[in-house]
Structure 1
Amino acid sequence: MRYNPIARFLRIPRRLRMIYYIHWNRLKFSFCGIKFEEEMNVYNKIYVNVHPTAQVSIGHNFTFSSGAAFNPLSRNIRGCIFAEAKSNIIIGDNVGISSATLWAKESVQIGNNVKIGSDCILLDTDAHNLDYIIRRDSSRDTFTAKSTPIIIEDDVLIGTRCIILKGVTIGARSVIGSGSIVTKSIPADCIAAGNPCKVIKVISE
């Protein structure tokens, strides 16, 4: 590839893009009815779809990097916040997320001081009905899919490319290894990993 000095000159510096998107996304979140504190910093383009009857609230010092390699592990994967009718997404204080998808049909709750790695998916619904007859009717399919709340307690660390499925609670201070698929709840103070995710070590004080 040939070096193009003009293209390099016209490229917007990353720092300026960060400042632009911080302000743009605060405006965007406000229009979507999301409640957040002034310290919220969301970098780059992010997909947001919040139903008028849904509730999304975000605590202090929230940071969400969305693609553009703000987190190198995210590459150019954009993050997503998707809240269906009458659902809620509650995010605590000092939470950091990189290019993750948060999809709530019922409820996704994230505690304080939680870190969620790049390209993770938190999905509290099956997304589709498990009955193939109902799946044939697209007007009934997703609306009848089962859902159960997800709860991520304080100080949890979730590694890159994990999938957290419906009905899961991850206990405080636990660590979920990269690439894990969490189908059942994980207790507090442990390290868990795998598909399906299982406890591999208890964290001792």
Structure 2
Amino acid sequence: MRVFSIILYYLILNKLPHSTVPLVGLPCERIKEFFAKKIFKNCGNNVNIGKGARFGNGKNIIIGNNSSIGVNCKVPNNIIIGDDVMMGPNVTIYGSNHEFIRTDIPMIQQGYRSYPPIIIEDDVWIGGNSIIMPGLVLKKGTIIGAGAVVTKNFPEYSIVGGNPAKLIKSRI
């Protein structure tokens, strides 16, 4: 059932309209949520998978209640997303990166570096077109400004933005 659900998602379901489209949006989101529960390791309730979202095979994804993967977002297949997480469109979250430690052989021949799963804690808002680098933890209550490139961790309730992302202010 899992393999069938993945094939169905990438062939048909990821082309269905977003939840904001009148009349058909919400039923389409419930259909995508139903299949996400078959694909993901753990899928909460009221999950919103945006049109065109990509998540690899989804095998190790954990997503909490009332959370979303935005329109055209790309997330790794080993991410942990908490409750009440909002993700704008076109967010890219990396789960790995090229190895580049050696200088005696080309980087393309060095393979990939593994990182622990990205963790997005509860009540996080990731603005559209943001890029999240591998191995990070987005702490509870954080806001990532649109277009930010997040390369390091920040404290809870931070508002960050820019390239590379910097602390703009604390919400506390």
- Equivalent residue of 2:75, what SS? strand
Q: CA deviation at 1:79?
A: 1.2
The separation in 2 between residues aligned to 1:158 and 1:185, in whole angstroms, is 14
Is contact 1:167-1:185 (8 Å) kept?
no
Q: Paired residues, what number? A: 148
Listed as ranges, the matches of 1:92-171 within 5 Å are 92-99=64-71, 100-104=73-77, 107-126=78-97, 128-130=98-100, 131=102, 132-133=105-106, 135-136=108-109, 141=111, 144-171=112-139
3-state SS, counterpart of residue 82 of structure 1: coil
Between the aligned partners of 1:88 and 1:101, the Cα distance in structure 2 is 15
Compared with structure 1, are the counterparts of its residues 61 and 20 closer, same or farther at alpha carbon in structure 2 (3 Å cutoff)? closer
The runs of at least 4 consecutive aligned structure 1 residues that moved more than 6 Å come to none
CA distance in 2, matches of 1:26, 1:189: 28
* CA distance in structure 2 between the partners assigned to 1:133 and 1:82 by the alignment: 27
Question: In the alignment, does 2:56 pair up with 1:82?
Answer: yes
Deviation at 1:89, TM superposition (A): 1.2
The answer on whether the counterparts of 2:32 and 2:49 sit within 8 Å (CA) in structure 1 is no
> What percentage of aligned pairs have identical amino acids?
29
Alpha carbons of structure 1 residues 23 and 174: separation in structure 2 relative to 1, 3 Å:
closer
Deviation per residue, 1:7-41 (Å, 9 max, x gap): xxxxxxx65654774476467546xx415xxxxxx
Gaps in structure 1 of 5+ consecutive residues: 1-13, 36-55, 67-77
- 2:50 is matched with which residue: 65, 68, 76? 65
Q: TM-score, normalised by structure 1?
A: 0.62
Aligned CA RMSD, in angstroms, stands at 2.6
5+ unaligned residues in a row in structure 2: which ranges?
Answer: 1-20
User: Which of these two proteins has the greater Rg computed from alpha carbons?
Assistant: 1
Do residues 34 (structure 1) and 39 (structure 2) align?
yes
Shift in Å, 1:96: 2.3
Cα distance in 1 for partners of 2:88, 2:26 equals: 22
Compare the two structures and name the one with the higher strand fraction. Answer: 1
